[in-house]
Amino acid sequence: MSLNDGVVDLASRFLHMGHEGWRREMATVS
C-alpha cells in the first residue's frame, strides 16, 4: 500500500467516525 492510499484510508475512517472518534484515534496514535 502506498503512503497516499494510507492517508486516504485514514481520512475516510475519520469522516465515518466523526469528530469524537477522530479525537480518540489521535490520542491513541500520539
Taking the domains of the chain in order of start, what are their residue ranges? 1-30
8 grid coordinates: 486516504
How far apart are alpha carbons 30 and 26 in whole angstroms?
6
24 grid coordinates: 480518540
pLDDT at 19: 72
How far apart are alpha carbons 30 and 23 in whole angstroms?
11
Three-state secondary-structure class, residue 5: helix
pLDDT at 21: 73
Q: Where are the beta strands (DSSP E) in 1-30?
A: none
pLDDT at 2: 84
Segment 6-29, tens digit of pLDDT:
899 988 887 887 777 778 877 887
pLDDT at 17: 75
The model's pTM: 0.41
pLDDT at 28: 83
Query: Which residues neighbour 17 within 8 Å (Cβ) at sequence distance 6 or greater?
Result: 24, 25
